[in-house]
Chain A
Amino acid sequence: MKKLLALFLTVTMVFGLAAALAEDAPVKMTLWTFQELHTELYKTMMEKWNAEADKPKLDIDFQVFPYEDMHNKLTIALQSGEGAPDLVDIEINMFANYLKGDIGLAPMNEYVEPIEDHLVMSRLNNYAKDGKFYGIDHHIGATVMFYNTEILEAAGVDYTTIKTWDDFHAAGKTVLEKTGKPMIVWESADCWSVYPMVNQHGGDWLTPDNQVRMDEQVVIDTLAFMKSMLDDGTAIPCPGGWTHTEEYWGWMNGGNCAAVCMPFWYLDRFTNYMPDLAGKMKVSAMPLWADGGHKSAQMGGTGTAVVASSPNAELAKEFLAYACLTFDGCVTTWKICGFDPILKDVYGSEEMKEPNKFFEYYDQDIFAVLSEVLDDIPDTCLTEYFPAATDIVKTQMAYRLVELREDPEQIAKDCAEELRSQIN
């Protein structure tokens, strides 16, 4: 009893003091992330925030966890209603999990809606439900093609002439013939090859009301195209299974492959893990499909969200908007992380042209490529069953296509069946 009383008194005193010192005492907050790079962005933005006179001072405790475990922890915390942080980074594939039942995240509408026209909204729609925006992304994640010009030149191919996927395939044949090297890799263990290509082609896994689209003709056609490249050796299964393995990085760095198709933020992987390709890599738009589709596709991402039950939720929202939705915040995002920010205003601005390690590595106007495709990036349909669909793509679709070379139509049908059985 005594202890309880003491505790009560302490708590009252602390709150009293906090009220009295409100001007000076910084507000403590916790932020969970799985991406250490993000903390540098937030730290920089927090310093800027604290330097401004009219803002209450913030003291954010940045906690970095391993990717899987952070999401598990968040699931448990939100499920049990206790122990959640104030701000949290949620990976795009996981996001739908937190939009089920009672949503534990706070909507950001009052910050998003006024500047809607300036933002790449297809990005924020990924984190929305019933017209409420729960997550703010740091980048567009527009898929682009990275070409190794050294290999292409050796084969006499000019990458700027590659306009369609058929051109790409034809160039691949030349490269293979002249250099013996494959044009590109397809992932067998993850979805970073299959999904952007299907998505760019106009397909998706699900409709907003969870009708399965996996066995549509556009999916089958896309898979068939990928298989045709595998069959003649212009594409090979990705070493290590996917493009985020040490094995792939080492192999790619050794100049063994002419291209890779990944989201814009992959340029950071080149600068960090493939140092020997500096000056040789060029960024270009994705080849187009002859029969329609889009200029690019969005892949990957992190929705930073405010936990609704946080006592400082309003302040956290304000800070999040400050760090991610302002001009300055978006420019800082590019400078620190090498991301393509979601605020359209920054593109073409002087601030984005200041030299940095990325410009040095690629030696080209990276953003010219980006603004080319910015107006035609399809939405992705991230319903609550999207994680299940992604899992099926990883375990079955990509593997059976790339590793076992099975019939695309059969694969698409089986995968669609599996997904339907999980939904019902």
Chain B
Amino acid sequence: MQNRSAGKTVKRRGIRSLSDPKVVPYVFVAPFIVFFLFVYMYPLIMTVIMSFQQIDGPNHHQFIGLKNYQKLNTRDFQMALQTSGRYALWDVIVLTIVPLLIACILHSGLAKGSGFFKSLFFIPSLTSIIVAGIVFRLAFGTLETATMNRLMTAMGFQPVKWLSYAGPGNFVLILLTLWRWNGVNIVYYLSGLQSIPTDYYEAAQIDGASALQKFFHVTLPCIRPVLIYVITITVLGGFSMFTESVALWQQNNAGGVGRTIVGYMYMVGFKKNNLGLASAVGLTLLVLVVAVNLVQLVLMGFFRKEE
């Protein structure tokens, strides 16, 4: 309780205690600084160093300059880039919009039993992706008798070899991702929607705004912070996706259909035991994700507020 006076005297000179207003913010962020320095800094630097090395065992680290980065100019890696890029694009589109619409409907109270649905939609994200992957893999099997192909034939379409080609394969991946992450994003959006003061809507109502106008002029601006968050993690999740593709294709990767950048890194690092090259792949991925996200954040006006 002696902190009280310290909190009040805003303009005291020098640093006297943890309650000094100059110190307070640093106390709040200290855990991250410590964490970053001790847990992340060292491995990160090591990874950067390793990306310039040829590594054959604990005592065989040899600097080879940019050779690892030059080796990224292979068909395999480009296919992985394409796969991840295609997936990330659709991932961001689908996983930003669909959950937002559902969250809005749930929040509007139009649908009966919103609370029930809210709980229900979240449940898929609680399961192990390995097991869910088996279910999806079997449902989208290559055979005509597979569950989805039966449905396709019943609706008058040709059966599809879902997981054998890039396009349909990507579709199944997105569907699996939507199934699993839809509920999570809904929760994010709902937490944003619930913090919008109802009088904003009432004011819009009085101004005679239509439902769509309300959505674009009240809802969207108000949940912008949450929206930015969702897009940022979706971009990250999109580019660094791995588990989902493993769940669908296991470790096989016919035609590069299911191999993502992280999958490639994994294969190079552990299957081919080339940790130097794997580090180079990882750093490329890092640069890619950071770049795309920076563009996205600038476009969303994320940094505007700070000025």
**Interface digits, B143-187 against A, CB 8 Å rule (1 contact, 0 not)?**
101100000000000000101110000000000000000000000
Of B55-63, B110-118, B297-305, the one touching chain A: B55-63
Q: Is the CB of B255 within 8 A of A395?
A: yes
Q: Is the CB of B56 within 8 A of A101?
A: yes
B293 at the interface (CB under 8 A from A): no
Q: Is the CB of B259 within 8 A of A395?
A: yes
Query: A421 CA to B74 CA in the complex, in Å?
Result: 8
Q: Is the CB of B273 within 8 A of A75?
A: yes
Query: A400 CA to B165 CA in the complex, in Å?
Result: 11
Report chain B residues within 8 Å CB of A189.
249, 252-254
Q: Is the CB of B75 within 8 A of A100?
A: no
Interface of A is mostly: helix
Report chain A residues within 8 Å CB of B273.
75, 97-98, 100, 387
B251 at the interface (CB under 8 A from A): yes
- Name the residue among B59, B79, B270, B275 with the largest chain A CB count within 10 angstroms: B270
Q: Is the CB of B164 within 8 A of A188?
A: yes
- From B57, B255, B259, A104 is in contact (CB under 8 Å) with B57
- From B55, B256, B269, A395 is in contact (CB under 8 Å) with B256
Report chain B residues within 8 Å CB of A245.
137
Report chain A residues within 8 Å CB of B16.
none
B138 at the interface (CB under 8 A from A): yes
Q: Is the CB of B271 within 8 A of A391?
A: yes
Q: Is the CB of B267 within 8 A of A79?
A: no
A362 at the interface (CB under 8 A from B): no
Q: Is the CB of B163 within 8 A of A241?
A: yes
B277 closest partner in A (C-beta): A422
Shortest CB-to-CB span from A130 to chain B, Å, is 15
Query: A261 CA to B275 CA in the complex, in Å?
Result: 36
A242 at the interface (CB under 8 A from B): yes
Whether A251 touches B60, Cβ cut-off 8 Å, given contacts A94-B271, A189-B254, A399-B255, is no
A300 at the interface (CB under 8 A from B): no
Report chain A residues within 8 Å CB of B142.
237, 239-241, 247
Q: Is the CB of A72 within 8 A of B270?
A: yes
Shortest CB-to-CB span from A56 to chain B, Å, is 30
Report chain A residues within 8 Å CB of B256.
395-396
**Interface digits, A69-83 against B, CB 8 Å rule (1 contact, 0 not)?**
001100100111100
Whether A97 touches B271, Cβ cut-off 8 Å, given contacts A394-B252, A404-B255, A422-B74, is yes
B12 at the interface (CB under 8 A from A): no
Shortest CB-to-CB span from B108 to chain A, Å, is 42
A82 closest partner in B (C-beta): B58
Query: A387 CA to B268 CA in the complex, in Å?
Result: 10
- Name the residue among A68, A72, A80 with the largest chain B CB count within 10 angstroms: A68
Q: Is the CB of A102 within 8 A of B57?
A: yes
Name B residues whose Cβ lies closer than 8 Å to a Cβ of A.
Answer: 55-60, 71, 74-76, 79, 134, 137-138, 141-143, 145-146, 161, 163-165, 249, 251-256, 259, 267, 269-273, 275
Enumerate 13 A-B pairs (CB-CB under 8 Å) in ascending A order.
Answer: A71-B270, A79-B55, A101-B56, A101-B57, A101-B60, A102-B58, A189-B252, A237-B164, A241-B254, A246-B134, A395-B254, A395-B259, A399-B255
The 4 closest A-B pairs by CB, nearest first: A101-B56, A101-B57, A189-B254, A97-B273
A100-B57, A100-B273 known, 17 other contacts, Cβ within 8 Å: A68-B270, A79-B57, A79-B58, A93-B271, A102-B56, A190-B252, A237-B164, A241-B142, A241-B249, A387-B271, A387-B272, A391-B76, A391-B271, A392-B76, A395-B259, A418-B75, A421-B74
